[in-house]
Structure 1
């Protein structure tokens, strides 16, 4: 099956989506904040929350990856324009993370603070999945990755298989990181988490730049080719 689709396409798409989504979601850094937000809950409740959040995060990322670009195309936004805009947004977001990560962390912490009396089912999706874990930035990255899909049928299938596997892998990381958040706090600490966040932000900046370059190539390629004729 993978041989007919193209294993290289699956692997390349998996690595690209994994690096982009990991950089924006940052499961380790988010787990440190998750431990603070849920400090008043029992270990069993935190484990249940981590399972629910991992499942909901997978649904959010897969929906944005598969349906985000077609929905925008329905409204007349071309694939090239979507790649350029999405790549620029991702790159700008990554630049912000590189320069002021503490500001973003404080905003996410405030957005995810649960109201008194809310039960697990209520807080697992909102606000702990949206917007805390997979917020607008993650959705924008997933849509931009989906817009970067190839046009050939065989490569297209390989792309979505690889990207979908990456989204599910990130969801699995979220579940594991959140489920062991207390141990991560002790093992990593806030300083190392910030270093990891900076490295992830730089990787995300590279991903956003690559997506933008692909979009610009889609626009300028036919124009350059027509001038040579």
Structure 2
């Protein structure tokens, strides 16, 4: 039983973290928070990580019933969410280069985050769809799509879902809160290149999610016509 639980946790965590790809998205996060202080960015990273936790928990436990209630197919989720991700990647890819920030002569005084600048970005677009987008939500739903009603198996699956969501939350917070430090290691030009590459990968991920949704939608239609 314990071995099965550990296996489920490792499988779900590695699958989700590879889709979320927090290291690449961290540069997008940094690009969206260029005017923030380190403390503001850390607080925002915490909010995004907590939001991602609740999004994944909701996808694990109520994702399938909600989709069925509204009559939304997995293909529609992928196409709509992939479009949102692709548009965000396109906008970031074509955004003008930010001006280099002057180095302050004195230590920067940490100011409290403005009430709207941080909170307004925390859920959309930084949590959804940039961090926990349609790919990760669809993966979380798929992991528990066949959740059994047997009590012992349901409890194990629930524990695995909570542990996976917690681990993903911690990784997101750790990487996002240190995005500026990673940029310092890369330097100005290296950071610009990394941001452009991350934006392009985000665009490609969005297009791939759309294509996956279209394939899932068109394949049954093609099979039906071929059978006639």
Following the alignment from structure 1 to structure 2, what is the Cα–Cα distance between the partners of residues 166 and 22?
15
Q: Which has the larger radius of gyration?
A: 2
Residues 1:54 and 2:43 aligned together = no
- RMSD over equivalenced CA pairs, Å: 4.5
TM-aligned CA distance change 1:199 to 1:102, over 3 Å: closer
> Which position in structure 2 is the counterpart of 1:114?
none
The separation in 2 between residues aligned to 1:143 and 1:51, in whole angstroms, is 20
**Which structure 2 residue ranges, 5 or more long, are not aligned?**
98-110
Contact 2:147-2:157 at 8 Å conserved across structures? no
Matched, 1:194 2:196: yes
Superposed displacement of residue 181, structure 1: 3.5
- The aligned counterpart of 2:182 is 184
Bigger share in helix: 1
SS at match of 2:124: helix
Q: Which residue of 1 aligns with 2:67?
A: 72
Structure 1: runs of 5 or more not aligned: 107-117
| Match 1:84 to one of 75, 82, 91 | 75
Q: CA deviation at 1:73?
A: 1.7
Query: Given that residues 83 and 215 in structure 1 are in contact (C-alpha distance below 8 angstroms), is that contact kept between their aligned partners in structure 2?
Result: no
Q: Report matched runs for 1:1-229 at 5 Å.
A: 1=1, 3-4=3-4, 7=7, 11-22=10-21, 26-34=25-33, 36-39=34-37, 43-75=38-70, 77=71, 81-96=72-87, 99-102=90-93, 120=113, 122-123=115-116, 126-136=119-129, 141=134, 142-149=136-143, 151-153=145-147, 167-188=165-186, 189-210=191-212, 213=215
Question: For residues 193 and 205 of structure 1, do their structure 2 counterparts lie closer, same or farther at Cα, with a shift above 3 Å needed?
Answer: same
TM-score by length of 1: 0.60
How far the C-alpha of 1:82 sits from its partner, in A, is 1.7
Asked if structure 2 preserves the Cα contact closer than 8 Å seen for 1:30 and 1:133, the reply is yes
